[in-house]
């Protein structure tokens, strides 16, 4: 199965929760105050976001009032076009500039951060880049072991310290090692932290500063890994991590496990942080570039 087919399959729950309900709302009905209210509610329940929902419904009402849109088929085409425009152009994760290119991965526990790092490492290796993984989550021995297993699978180099050691020291050593060895990309794992715990967020800021000392301009990418099943809580996580370390992109995991994939639209509208990678399954190949046009097409087809 190609990735677009896997994407369609992965988005089936969101499609049923959103597009299926849109079809039901307008089936045999006209676009009027009642159906528009139902549409707005459906958009909100799919986690598209209140502002997005109000904007879409407002623009649809204008077209209905002018006679441009009358039936369900045209409503779907309208939503497809508007939602594609809302997400804008693709902004993939691209390795650029002086080597090593440093990626700092952040996120709360349980979102699939270490797995995403492993899949990303494998992807970059397939593209011909040499990769080094840095075990910056020193709080859990299991996290270090899990990342080391992924390094082996992805044929990536690996830098770790003892469990309980200073994460910033690991990061500094990893970037220094990558520079000395001519490695293309460093991906840094960090402790899964509750975004509400300020001392842990302060430590992230320190890690980011140390990156810059080891390699001017680093980290070049600050990637937040979020779990799509968390819905609006994922948006809140993104807000707080962005305030702390300035996110450059988002990797959205577990889209295949949620009916609330509309969170992609809320993230774009509220924070304007690009979703760069999406995960729609367990396989290594199920982490892919986020292409807005394909995402919307998979929802509606």
DSSP three-state, residue 274: coil
Q: Give pTM, 2 decimals.
A: 0.91
Task: Specify the pLDDT at position 192.
Answer: 76
Q: So what's the pLDDT on residue 60?
A: 95
Give the mean pLDDT per block of 10 residues along the chain (301 residues). Answer: 83 87 88 93 89 94 91 87 93 95 93 94 96 94 94 97 93 98 97 68 94 96 91 85 94 83 86 91 85 92 84
**How many angstroms separate the CA atoms of 148 and 146, rounded?**
5
CA distance 231 to 54: 18
The whole-angstrom separation of Cα 2 and Cα 286 is: 10
Specify the CATH number of the domain 101-300.
Answer: 3.40.50.300
DSSP string of 104-128, one letter each residue: EEE--TTS-HHHHHHHHHHHHHHTT
> Which pLDDT value is given to residue 194?
62
State residue 234's pLDDT score: 85
The CATH number given to 3-87 is 1.20.120.140
- Give pLDDT, residue 184: 98
Q: Where are the domains of the chain?
A: 3-87, 101-300
């Amino acid at each position: 199965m190609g990735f677009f087919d896997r994407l369609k399959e992965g988005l089936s729950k969101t499609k049923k929760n959103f597009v299926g309900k849109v079809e039901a709302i307008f089936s045999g009905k006209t676009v009027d105050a009642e159906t528009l209210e139902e549409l707005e509610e459906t958009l909100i329940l799919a986690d598209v976001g209140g502002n997005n929902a109000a904007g879409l419904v407002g623009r649809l009402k204008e077209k209905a009032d002018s006679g441009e849109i009358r039936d369900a088929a045209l409503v779907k085409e309208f939503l497809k076009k508007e939602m594609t425009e809302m997400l804008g152009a693709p902004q993939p994760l691209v390795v650029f500039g002086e080597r090593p290119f440093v990626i700092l991965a952040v996120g709360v526990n349980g979102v699939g951060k270490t797995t995403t790092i492993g899949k990303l490492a494998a992807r970059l290796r397939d593209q011909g880049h040499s990769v080094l993984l840095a075990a910056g989550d020193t709080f859990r021995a299991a996290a270090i072991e899990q990342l080391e297993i992924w390094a082996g699978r992805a044929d990536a180099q690996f830098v770790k310290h003892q469990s309980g050691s200073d994460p910033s020291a690991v990061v500094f050593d990893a970037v220094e090692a990558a520079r000395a060895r001519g490695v293309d990309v460093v991906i840094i794992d960090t402790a899964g932290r509750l975004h509400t715990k300020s001392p842990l967020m302060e430590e992230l800021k320190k890690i980011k500063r140390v990156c810059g000392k080891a390699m001017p301009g680093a980290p070049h990418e600050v990637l937040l890994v979020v779990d799509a099943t968390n819905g609006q809580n994922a948006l809140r996580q993104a807000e707080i991590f962005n305030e702390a370390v300035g996110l450059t992109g988002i990797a959205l995991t577990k889209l295949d496990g949620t009916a609330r994939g509309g969170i992609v639209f809320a993230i774009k509208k509220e924070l304007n942080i690009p979703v760069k990678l999406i995960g729609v399954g367990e396989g290594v190949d199920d982490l892919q570039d986020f292409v807005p046009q394909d995402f919307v097409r998979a929802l509606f087809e």
